[in-house]
Amino acid sequence: MNRTDAPRPGDIATGINRLEGYLLLQAERDRATDRARRFAGRLDWLTVAQREEVERLYAQDQLALTEQTLRTVARRSEELRAEYRQVYRRLRWRLLVAALLGAVAVAVMAAAVLAAG
């Protein structure tokens, strides 16, 4: 394997993020299935087929709710990122203007001292 075949850091980070997402999804599926079993377990009058259907539908609803919640959080996260970028740009611009004004003030004072001396 030569240097051009080596994975780039961005590729590695993307792969790790995908693996983490997969593992989180599997864990959420397990939790949803467990919640569905506990819920259906309290309905002792159900037949086996009915219990399996209730478990399947409950788990499906739980996963849909989780997906909706994650999409809402992700959207809000993007909104906040955009807001913070804008604030950061304004602060950076203000700092630049303040630095330039300070430099001009120092230059004017230096010129005044040299002209007086």
Report the distance separating Cα 10 and Cα 31, nearest Å.
31
Report the distance separating Cα 27 and Cα 114, nearest Å.
73
Q: Output the pLDDT for position 57.
A: 97
- 3-18 tens-digit pLDDT: 567 778 778 889 998 9
pTM: 0.64
Residues of the chain with pLDDT under 50: none
Q: Which are the contacts of 55, defined by CB distance < 8 A and separation ≥ 6?
A: 33, 36, 37, 39, 40
Q: Output the pLDDT for position 2.
A: 56
- 71-89 tens-digit pLDDT: 999 999 999 999 999 999 9
Q: Classify 117 as helix, strand or coil.
A: coil
Report the distance separating Cα 108 and Cα 9, nearest Å.
49
Amino acid, res. 115 = A
Q: Output the pLDDT for position 55.
A: 96
